[in-house]
Amino acid sequence: MKSLMTNDANEKRAAAEWFGHPRGLAFLFATEMWERFSYYGMRALLVLYMVDYLLKPERADTVIGLSALKRGLEALTGPLGAQPLASQIYGLYTGFVYLTPILGGLLADRWLGRRITVALGAALMVAGHFLMASESLFLFALLLLIVGNGAFKPNIVTQLGGLYPPGDKRRDRAYSIFYVGINIGAFFSPLVAGTLGETVGWHYGFASAGVGMAVGLAIYLYALPNLPPERPRREAPRAAEASPRRALLGVALLFLPSALFFASYEQQGNTIALWAEGFTDRRVDLLFWQGEIPVTWFQAFNPLMVFLFTPPLVAWWTHRARTGREPPTLEKLTFGCFGVGLGYLVMAWAAYANEGGRASWLWLALYFAVITYAELHFWPMALSLFSRIAPESSRSAVIGLLFTTSFVGNLLAGWLGGFWSSFSHVAFFLTAAAVAGLAGALIAASRGLLRELVAE
């Protein structure tokens, strides 16, 4: 009888799993994939749209609130031309996208629950993407996207961790798989939204991002029965549950290094896009394809390399783990920062070697390869780390707080991007490399304290 019961339990578990993981992982993977399709598709167009179209004098005056925003920014930075203003708006948008998750985490943990908050955030983002078709409502559309992302992002990440019981070793691998889903969406979005925006019309590109987000919302609603059950709101933490103090201290120690990491890393959609447009020889002459690479397609290089590099990298870590030689999380984080710095040294050399001309697109390919390999050592590891050490009762809020490091980093990225027009390209890329190198040095310097907090 006991054997029959065990077999029945195993059969039920197998039916509830796909490829050794809970079915919910596949649905969250697909939902996040379409959300990232919408985000990166819109992001690939954003700076180009502003510089080449929206901020032209005849159109800028029609954008509600733009003149007030420009005056406020100029009070802090001095006069802003179209390119520096576009970089500042880009930095504000991508920055606030990563500030609002702390509010979304608190909203879910204390009142609405994670399911309702994710669905609400997705619906707001659908509306925001379609509103991008209205030039006068441009800033309002960005606001909807910011608020919607804040409700969506921390709670879907937390639901992923909730699919696995404490101590389940599949959790880290699940976050790596989830990260591949993010980058599949990010890979196809510049090819679809970017191509539509550049060749058919800006608003067609933005509308395709809205369609992608609507598909993600539909998948999420269908998946609700396969997701972790809601914890009752206002539930008191269990006596055996850990205090959030350790996780909060860890976030505090990593806050500045993570912000500096993103200040350098997030130039991809900002100044790197401008380099690709104005200073890169994008001609390709191959047997199977000849032509010029569209500017927005370069935004697909990073996500393509993420899902090419992730399987062998995870297999390598697994192999080293069997002999007890897998690098600890903190070493991976440090390596990630220094690796991003190395990517910008590649770009500095490209600018130096091709001063006054156009650099081969292969330099950008090398840059993206280096920065992607570094990225895989940083952000997915940070998410997995804090999902593991944060207590259940405040996990969404802690993950949301971790996302605020990206908020500060993206604000810094926008500020740093404002120097693109005044620095030489060599000096700009060396500055970006120094920022990432400083992040790695700070993690290395505080490694002793961090090791105690994360129990490594």
Residue 71 backbone zone (phi > 0: left; psi -120 to 50: alpha; other: beta): alpha
Q: Report the alpha-carbon distance of residue 383 to residue 396 in Å, rounded.
A: 11
Sign of CA dihedral 407, 408, 410, 415: positive
18's enclosing H/E stretch is strand 17-18
| pLDDT at res. 335 | 95
| pLDDT at res. 5 | 38
Residue located via tokens 């207590």: 391
3-class secondary structure, 283: strand
Read off the amino acid at residue 201.
G
| pLDDT at res. 11 | 40
| Partner residues linked to 18 by β-bridges | 21
Read off the amino acid at residue 443.
I
Structural domain boundaries in the chain? 25-227+244-453
| pLDDT at res. 436 | 97
Q: By C-alpha distance, which of 247, 275, 241, 262 is closest to 347? A: 275
Q: Report the alpha-carbon distance of residue 321 to residue 325 in Å, rounded.
A: 6
pLDDT digits (tens, 9 = 90+) for 46-76: 988 998 899 998 889 899 999 999 999 988 8
| Partner residues linked to 360 by β-bridges | 281
Residue 65 backbone zone (phi > 0: left; psi -120 to 50: alpha; other: beta): left
3-class secondary structure, 282: coil
Q: Is 12 exposed, middle or buried (0-12, 13-18, 19+ CB in 10 A)?
A: exposed
Q: Is 68 exposed, middle or buried (0-12, 13-18, 19+ CB in 10 A)?
A: exposed
pLDDT in tens, the chain (456 residues): 444 334 443 444 444 566 577 888 889 989 999 999 999 888 888 988 998 899 998 889 899 999 999 999 988 888 888 888 998 898 889 778 878 888 888 888 888 888 999 999 999 999 999 999 889 999 999 999 999 999 998 888 888 878 888 767 677 677 877 888 888 888 888 889 888 988 899 999 999 999 999 999 999 999 988 888 776 555 555 544 556 777 778 888 889 999 999 999 989 878 998 899 889 999 888 767 778 888 878 888 888 898 789 888 878 877 887 787 878 888 889 999 999 999 999 999 999 998 878 999 999 999 999 999 999 999 888 877 777 777 777 777 788 888 888 888 888 888 898 899 889 999 999 999 999 999 999 999 988 777 776 665
C-alpha angle 134/136/139, rounded to 5°? 95
| Partner residues linked to 284 by β-bridges | 291
Q: Report the alpha-carbon distance of residue 81 to residue 69 in Å, rounded.
A: 13
| pLDDT at res. 3 | 45
Count CB atoms within 10 A of the CB of residue 280: 22
Q: Report the alpha-carbon distance of residue 264 to residue 254 in Å, rounded.
A: 16
CATH topology of domain 25-227+244-453: Growth Hormone; Chain: A; (1.20.1250)
Residue located via tokens 């996302």: 403
| pLDDT at res. 357 | 81
In whole angstroms, how far apart are CA 329 and each of 214, 323, 360, 435, 447?
A: 36, 16, 36, 21, 11
Count CB atoms within 10 A of the CB of residue 304: 18
Q: By C-alpha distance, which of 164, 156, 117 is closest to 21? A: 164
Strands 21-22 and 17-18: antiparallel
Residue 19 backbone zone (phi > 0: left; psi -120 to 50: alpha; other: beta): left
273's enclosing H/E stretch is helix 271-278
